[in-house]
Amino acid sequence: MKLVSNIKLLALMSFLLNLTASEPFSIKISDIQSFRWDTNNQSLVLRVGSKYFDIQFSSRCWDIESAKRLEFQSWSNRTHLSVGDAIVPMSYRWGFDSPSNCFIKNIEKIEG
């Protein structure tokens, strides 16, 4: 019985270590310098200093290709952007701001 509980404890510890090792990126909102839409990958590329981050969304993000600026809605931390937070494209193509929130599914550091 003790061996089984020790194995379960080791499995849980291993899982938790792997979970923290693959922790997703968090981007400081005030450090974002520019953005562009990558039509090949259907993702948003943010430039933060000399680093670039590829932002993938959980569903189709309408109007982001024509956005003049972005609004960030961070639910977990007001200063940083991470998985689960929203980006709202501010597009003037229709004469008003986009009503759609684009929820972040993945953030990946890429080469510029």
pLDDT digits (tens, 9 = 90+) for 23-76: 567 899 999 999 999 999 999 999 999 999 999 999 888 788 888 889 898 887
How far is 42 from 108, CA to CA, in rounded Å? Answer: 14
Average pLDDT, the chain: 80
- Residue 70 placed within a domain: yes
- Residue 99 placed within a domain: yes
- Residue 14 placed within a domain: no
pTM of the model: 0.72
- Residue 31 placed within a domain: yes
Structural domain for 75, as ranges: 24-110
How far is 60 from 58, CA to CA, in rounded Å? Answer: 7
How far is 23 from 25, CA to CA, in rounded Å? Answer: 7
How far is 106 from 55, CA to CA, in rounded Å? Answer: 6
Q: What 8-state DSSP symbol labels residue 40?
A: T
Question: Any idea what the Cα angle at residue 31 is, between residues 21 and 106, rounded to 5°?
Answer: 40
